Amino acid sequence: IASQFVPKHLLGKRVLVTAGPTVERIDPVRFLSNDSSGKMGVALAEAARDMGAYVTLVHGPLQIPIPDGVTALPVESSAEMLETVLAHFDDQHLVIKSAAVADYRPTTVHAEKHKKVHGPLTIELEETTDILKTLGMKKRDQILVGFAAETEQLETHARAKLEKKRVDYLVANHVATPGIGFGADENEVTLFRADGTVHRLPRQSKQELAHALLLQFKEAIR
Ligand code: CTP
Ligand code: CA
């Protein structure tokens, strides 16, 4: 539906969305990343804007257009995403972490391109900071939403993440199912709430799903 007809359920609210993959540099021409397209996060940013929110979109490299009318803050690495999100966290009403943040990054980033004459290359990886968990520890009145990308035991893993990261909502998706999840235009998710209740959202376009999810999240905003 045209944006002017969308009910303004988030009028005047500040919503921060993270989207897309992060990029962890190995050297100036090589990096580690993942399959995230950013479509779900961008759909959420767009839907929140249409509901009247002031939207900040912190995003990794995207191959899809950034919606008009949102404040887009591009980042590369998980460290940059952490810094940018923290700088804008305090005055948000709702923070949705749909980005696929790298779990590991190279321990050292080489200043020059690695040359083959040096022989085989071993890349040592270290864990990145868990941005969502950091926000969960820091949050006051903000409503915090996490995503979970799972390929098996969805419910068990999702509930564990909900608790460990102290989020209000956890959106779980089966990323290995063809036609939904990473890169797809449609998605089908299970929404876990901090109070233990569960809500299944059937397969639909990421735009429709973004709208349906925001209708859930807005209930918790004070
Ligand atoms: N996340 C984050 N910072 C990280 C890793 C993940 O903020 N360094 C966030 C993601 O944006 C997502 C949520 O944590 O909202 C869950 O991400 P997911 O990859 O499903 O879980 P992990 O906790 O990273 O655990 P694992 O990948 O081992 O399943
Ligand atoms: Ca992860």
ipTM, 2 decimals? 0.98
- CA-nearest residue for atom 23, ligand 1, is 161
DSSP-derived secondary structure for 37-103: -SHHHHHHHHHHHHTT-EEEEEE---SSPPPTTSEEEE--SHHHHHHHHHHHHTT-SEEEE-SB--S
- Give the position, in ligand 1's atom list, of the atom nearest the Cα of 165: 14
Residue to mutate (ligand 1; options 131, 154, 190; most atoms within 8 A of CB): 131
Neighbouring CB atoms inside 10 A of 151's CB total: 11
Tokens of 132: 């969502």
Q: What is the pLDDT, as a whole number, of residue 4?
A: 82
Kindly report the pTM of this predicted structure. Answer: 0.96
Q: Which CATH superfamily is domain 3-113+121-220 in?
A: CoaB-like (3.40.50.10300)
From 17, 21, 24, 34, the catalytic residue = 34
pLDDT digits (tens, 9 = 90+) for 59-74: 999 999 999 999 999 9
pLDDT digits (tens, 9 = 90+) for 115-173: 999 889 899 999 999 999 999 999 999 999 999 988 899 999 999 999 999 999 999 98
Neighbouring CB atoms inside 10 A of 155's CB total: 12
SS3 content of the chain, % helix, strand, coil (to 5): 30, 30, 40
Instruction: Provide the β-strand partners of residue 193.
Output: 169
CA–CA separation, 210 vs 6, rounded Å? Answer: 13
187 is catalytic: no
